[in-house]
Amino acid sequence: VDPNGKPAQTTYRVLTSTETQALIELKPTTGRTHQLRVHMAYLNTPILGDRVYGKPNTSRLMLHAHKLEITLPSGERKTFEAAVPKEFKDIFPGEF
């Protein structure tokens, strides 16, 4: 978080957790570059595998856009959903 940077807001909800990890739903209200990664690192809870703001402790960044909602120029709202990657299911079995 940069005190001279542009405002950014993210809401979050802890879905489940272990002693060392948590599965968190993040919803950015604004759309800044690396917003989710910066906010989680600022809270001292970097996203697993984040080589820039955390530690490269997994083979990939454990950030996944499960659902995306956009408004088209016509005003129509569109929703896109993607399956949860296997790596997430391996870390939190039974959650998906």
Within the chain, which residues score under 70 in pLDDT? none
Q: What is the predicted pLDDT for the residue at 3?
A: 83
DSSP line for the chain: --TTS----EEEEEEEE-SS-EEEEEEESS--TTHHHHHHHHTT-PPTT-TTTS---SSS------EEEEE-TTS-EEEEE-PPPHHHHHHSTT--
What is the per-residue pLDDT for 91?
87
pLDDT of residue 79: 98
Domains in the chain, ordered, with CATH?
10-91 (3.30.2350.10)
pTM of the predicted protein model: 0.83
Per-residue model confidence (pLDDT) at position 77: 98
Distance of alpha carbon 10 from alpha carbon 77, whole angstroms = 21
